[in-house]
Amino acid sequence: MPPLEFEPLRSRAMSAAPRPPTAPQRPSTPPPLPARLLLGPGPSNVPRSVREAMAQPLVGHLDPSFLRVLDDVQANLRTLFGTQNRMTLPLSATGSAGMEACLVNLLERGDDVVIGVAGVFGARMCDVATRAGARVTRVDAEFGTVLSKDAMEDAIARVQPKVVAFVHAETSTGVLQPVEEIAATARRAGALVVLDCVTSLAGLPLALDDWGIDAAYSGTQKCLACPPGLSPVSFSDRAIDVVTARATPVQSWYLDVTLLAGYFGGERTYHHTAPISAILGLAEALRLVLAEGMEARAVRHREAASRLVGELALLGFEPLVRAEHRLPPLTAALLPERVLGWQDGAGASGEAALRRRLLERHGIEVGGGLGPLAGRIWRIGLMGDNARTENVDRLADALRAEL
């Protein structure tokens, strides 16, 4: 078990006793939040019309007017995922819960799963699958590279797994993994294929059906340009058949797709109360994506990323990932000496201090590295509405001012 990472009772955050619940307080209105350009690994900035859609007065989660919105959301998610999967829906939790939903529905205790790990999110899949009682065969690749097709093929041939899982767009490294060959190998071996599309959905065209993917998940706070809180997921009919034929119940009631089907399928019966406002925001975000067109949107993401790599090179940053495997919505860059040794003049130094300076003085958020890449790279997101060359220029200007 990992150690608890919080302080014991009555420490810092508990030094003031809770206020008594009986007397009315006069809490002051909090100060407005600072304006931020969110160029980290997500969330990205959310267009005004999406925020206004979320702020509409509520209707019920079974109200016919809301169910029409939900119909549209599910249809438009199918379009973006490139699938006809009936069970395509916005799960009522964040992207990590989408990962868990895909794995715990398909895996029973003792099942074999082969997982490709070329970053933090591949490793997270292994943790989730292990907790579900699966036997995990892990195929590692160096962070910043793609998975080896041969290594995946060898593992699949050796293990004959029920499920093969890997990450399309590795948010910890900025690698875009080629999907088709590994997925085809897995399907030839009779395995179900699970794909992490957290940082690819709505940033590049997806084709779950053509690729032969059985379960995929994403998040709303990346290229969809919504707030975090929902996880678009999609299950193929083949996957649903496997879930229906399980010998044991899905370990999670909340994520059990056979129960979710009651609400997100044709019946629209109560399972849990769907996050109405977040779904209203997602509906508007999907409308914006389709109005732009997925091809144009992908071009915009590629052009912004290309300009970013060029600007970073002028500042001494080196891309972590080879050009042909870069994920346009998220660029990982190795930090030059002048960033690693940067000093703020008040005693703080290093890349984290510079990130804080960018945030506080320039209102720009960029992301640090995760896992073995912590302190070595920055992760710069140009996702959704933010994938614009003028945002690259703003970041480059801020960096030039500080370096």
Of the pair 32, 345, the CB lying nearest its own copies is at 32
Of the pair 21, 347, the CB lying nearest its own copies is at 21
Of the pair 228, 316, the CB lying nearest its own copies is at 228
**Residue partners of 384: CB distance under 8 A and separation at least 6:** 44, 45, 202, 203, 222, 223, 224, 225, 285, 329
Closest distance of CB 378 from its own copies, Å: 14
Of the pair 143, 152, the CB lying nearest its own copies is at 143
How far is the C-alpha of 56 from the C-alpha of 284, rounded, in Å? 12
Closest distance of CB 362 from its own copies, Å: 14
> Which 8-state DSSP code applies to residue 253?
T
Closest distance of CB 115 from its own copies, Å: 14
Strand partners, 235: 87, 215
Q: What is the largest CA-CA distance in the chain?
A: 67
The torsion angles phi and psi of 40, rounded to 5 degrees, stand at -95, -160
DSSP assignment of 189-244: TT-EEEEE-TTTBTTB---HHHHT-SEEE--SSSTT---SS-EEEEE-HHHHHHHH
Residue 373 · residue 332 · CB < 8 Å: yes
Q: Hey, how many other C-beta atoms are within 10 angstroms of the C-beta on 163? A: 24
Closest distance of CB 149 from its own copies, Å: 26
Closest distance of CB 342 from its own copies, Å: 19
Closest distance of CB 200 from its own copies, Å: 13
Of the pair 259, 353, the CB lying nearest its own copies is at 259
Closest distance of CB 228 from its own copies, Å: 4
How far is the C-alpha of 379 from the C-alpha of 317, rounded, in Å? 12
Q: What is the dihedral of CA 280, 281, 283, 287, to 10 degrees?
A: 140
Closest distance of CB 67 from its own copies, Å: 11
Of the pair 189, 294, the CB lying nearest its own copies is at 294
Of the pair 44, 173, the CB lying nearest its own copies is at 44
Of the pair 92, 177, the CB lying nearest its own copies is at 92
**Residue partners of 193: CB distance under 8 A and separation at least 6:** 163, 164, 165, 182, 183, 186, 187, 211, 212, 213, 214, 215
Query: How many residues are listed for the chain in this entry?
Result: 403
Q: Report cis status (omega within 30 of 0) of the bond before 34.
A: no
Closest distance of CB 316 from its own copies, Å: 25
How far is the C-alpha of 171 from the C-alpha of 180, rounded, in Å? 20
Closest distance of CB 68 from its own copies, Å: 8
Q: Token pair for residue 185?
A: 């190998």
Residue 291 C-beta-side C-alpha neighbours within 13 Å: 8
Closest distance of CB 154 from its own copies, Å: 27
Counting beta carbons within 10 angstroms of the beta carbon of residue 292, is it exposed (0 to 12), middle (13 to 18) or buried (19 or more)? middle
**C-alpha angle 113-125-137 in degrees, rounded to nearest 5:** 35
Strand partners, 331: 380
Of the pair 152, 179, the CB lying nearest its own copies is at 179
Of the pair 236, 331, the CB lying nearest its own copies is at 236
Of the pair 90, 156, the CB lying nearest its own copies is at 90
